[in-house]
Amino acid sequence: KRGKPNTWFNLGLSIVETMDTLWLLGFRQEFDEAQRWVEEHLTFERAKTKPDSFFEATIRLLGGLLGAHSLSLRPIFLQRAKELGDRLISAWPPDADLPNSQVDIGANLSSHIGWRGRSFSTAEVGSCQLEFRYLSHHTGDPTYAIFADRAFNAILQATPDKGLVSANLLGNTRPVEQGSTITLGAHGDSYYEYLVKQYLQTSQTEPRFLERWKLAMQEMMSRLVHRSSDGYLYVAKEHDGNIVHEFDHLSCFIAGMLMQGLHELPVGEVPQGYMEVAAEITETCHAMYDTTSGLAPEIIDFSSGQKVIKPKDAFSLLRPEAVEAMYYMWYYTGDHIYREWAHSVLEGLNRSARTTHGYSSMEQINSIEQKMTDSCESFFYAETLKYLYLIQADPELVPLDKFVFNTEAHPLRIWRPGVDAPPSGGLRASASGEGTETR
């Protein structure tokens, strides 16, 4: 079946998301072709757009441009990122702490999805800070960081003395927690990721992020980490104070987050026992691929005490979080078993999801009647393929004491506030010139 082009955002999303992966793969000709497309065709003021997700525009489009800039130091990517950032800040209504859920980039307008009412996803409003702060640092314009910090500060102020927070917030000005759903899966995940990564991004100079992340991890360990009767360690959810015994593929990122915290934070800040938890979570994530297709489901149900795939969850968007966990485990331990596991994931992808001209998401992944959906998310190129390559590559290709990945796996350089000037490739350089190629 020949797929129809997906015009989500109508801004070349797959091209933008793939650029830093191409750079890391050493595909300079293809990277240069993508750069020419960005120079000649990626414009925002004339873009035929509609209201789409602010969160996805930030982590995918802005993140992709910033990742390409961070690796190549070519000014055109920062220029386009600034142009996009100038439109993304329209998501904040006057005097609001939290951004609206939708932006129309071409029209430079924003709105909040009607069915949400006054509700906001904690992960969505808490996952623009790495990108906006990077943009402010490298352009010298504090505006972007001011808006992003306003949102994150509102979350922290709404949840004082709490580590784990509700997956939803109520109100866009001085919000409060809404509901009692606690999850490190959808709507919660990247908030916790950005807690620790903001601390790392600015060279461990903002201890409030560290302290809140440590508290969140302590509470996660005591409340959400469980073991099934068939031996799998997993991170459950809470709803109205009751444990929901299911584990999202999205939550596989936790293993990598724990390993990064253990190895990049000062000695003694993170309990050594977190390493064993990370290893066992990664083992559970690997086991998710033990299916007919060799692809993992969206969610594993443990309510029976054993690993079960419900029919409604037996689909695969070719998500990256399991290989992300394997990558961090390999990077910090050097244990080649994680390379082997990642290779088995690649074999499943090639066996079941590969098409003539790419890869497709799948339905009925644990049945002989597997079905392609004729679609492929851009995060497959930005994240899944990137991690599959990096785990087999030289670890110094992206040294994790110099870069943090945003939640879409776009690498962003770490800096020291007030000490490090932006590297070459800023907006004062020629927009078509090349920065220094560094790895």
Q: Say whether 324 is catalytic.
A: no
Q: Is 143 helix (H, G, I), strand (E, B) or coil?
A: helix
Amino acid residing at 353? A
CA angle 235, 342, 403 (to 5 degrees): 75
DSSP 342-361: HHHHHHHIIIIIEETTEE--
Q: Say whether 264 is catalytic.
A: no
Nearest Cα residue to 86 out of 108, 65, 69, 66: 108
Q: Say whether 335 is catalytic.
A: no
DSSP 276-294: HHHHHHHHHHHHTT-SSSS
Token pair recorded at residue 295:
């692809």
Q: Of 20, 131, 193, 298, which is the active-site residue?
A: 298
Q: Say whether 45 is catalytic.
A: no
Contacts of 246 (CB under 8 A, 6+ apart): 236, 237, 299, 300, 301, 302, 303
Contact, 329 vs 259, CB < 8 A?
A: yes
Alpha carbon 225 to chain centroid, angstroms: 22
Contact, 409 vs 387, CB < 8 A?
A: yes
Q: Of 321, 324, 377, 383, which is the active-site residue?
A: 321
φ, ψ (nearest 5 deg) of residue 264? -100, -20
Q: Of 20, 97, 131, 189, which is the active-site residue?
A: 189
Q: Of 17, 20, 52, 56, which is the active-site residue?
A: 56
Q: Which residues are catalytic?
A: 56, 189, 298, 321
